[in-house]
Amino acid sequence: MSAYVGRFAPSPTGPLHFGSLVAAVASWLDARAACGRWLVRIEDVDTPRTVAGASDAILSTLEALGLTWDGAVLRQGARTARYAEALETLRRAGQLFRCDCSRREVADSALRGPEGAVYAGRCLADRDIFTREPHPRMTSCAVRFAVAAGEVSFDDRVQGRITQDVAREIGDFVLRRRDGLFAYQLAVVVDDAEQGVTDVVRGADLLGSTARQIALQRALGYASPRYLHFPVVVDRAGDKLSKQTRALPVDASRGPEAIAAALRCLGQPAVESREPAAMLREAAAQWSVERIPRAATAPLPDNGRDA
């Protein structure tokens, strides 16, 4: 085993669909080609969106397709105490503030960025008070991260040099929601650091989150992993495959077709075999990051529609 540690982190909002399969295949191949470890993490921190039985179904499909993982599966739902500790570290450092702005108030901001309205800082004046409180009041308010001015840059292994001014383009972002749930950005940063993840391989739809995560990593004293963002698979309407767009579950009984389709989306040669595990082993031996298309999206291949 090398020092490489990768991960696949699906949200259990439904069964594994083809877009998520591409993510699993990409991260698995990158890890195995580096003789590294591949972890699986269930990102169920957003409990209202979690579907009962979905995580077990996802794991069963991965196993059936030969996508074996190393170590125990980590579940975010069991780690809220760690996220609270990280939040407290940031609060004591003066990097958080409470925010009672409604969605409408944020949406009405005159500031606009790549993801829509940019938070205008209405509640930022609370930061000093929030930092000094021995037992801070958390109920009914969101908690935001006060973003430092300046650009965040990183070199993506497929997309190249990426630079974002998080303060100007995104604004101070939420780490703990009004309903008390921890935000994805905080949970993923804490988990990647504590699991020793060295390489994050995921779809380009999450490229815009990376600068925020690097800003949090720096604030918490964590090292930043390497990043690789491949084209996210979209349907004929140009929408990302998801439960909301009624993406079909992967049919594990048609494993070779599904793996071959996923490889083609990643620009890799499709290996002929009747066994998905054998296809994956051969694909890992031939894995080439240089073959991955440098694009934000990839069309759903015909043989991926019902795979």
pLDDT one-digit tens code per residue, 87-120: 999 999 999 999 998 888 888 776 788 888 898 8
Tokens found for residue 72: 């125990």
pLDDT tens digits, one per residue of 239-255: 787 766 667 899 999 99
pTM of the model: 0.93
Tokens found for residue 167: 């303060």
Answer yes or no: are the C-beta atoms of 50 and 44 closer than 8 Å.
yes
pLDDT at 296: 81
* Per-residue DSSP letter, 300: P
pLDDT tens digits, one per residue of 7-52: 999 999 999 999 999 999 999 999 999 999 999 999 999 999 999 9
Q: What is the DSSP string of 155-223?
A: EETTTEEEEE-HHHHT-SEEEE-TTSPBPHHHHHHHHHHHTT--EEEEEGGGGGGHHHHHHHHHHHTPP
User: How confident is the model over 165-178, as a mean pLDDT?
Assistant: 95
| More confident of the two residues 274 and 40 | 40
Answer yes or no: is pLDDT of 202 > 90: yes
Answer yes or no: are the C-beta atoms of 22 and 8 closer than 8 Å.
no
Answer yes or no: is pLDDT of 265 > 70: yes
Tokens found for residue 208: 């815009």
Res. 280 pLDDT band, cuts 50 70 90: very high
| Three-state secondary-structure class, residue 37 | strand
Structural domains present in the chain: 5-79+230-304 (3.40.50.620), 80-187 (3.40.50.620)
Answer yes or no: are the C-beta atoms of 53 and 21 closer than 8 Å.
no
pLDDT at 35: 97
User: How confident is the model over 122-149, as a mean pLDDT?
Assistant: 88
Answer yes or no: is pLDDT of 306 > 60: no
Res. 1 pLDDT band, cuts 50 70 90: low
Round the average pLDDT of the chain to a whole number and report it: 92
11, amino acid identity: S
How wide is the angle at C-alpha 15 spanned by C-alphas 269 and 34, nearest 5°? 40
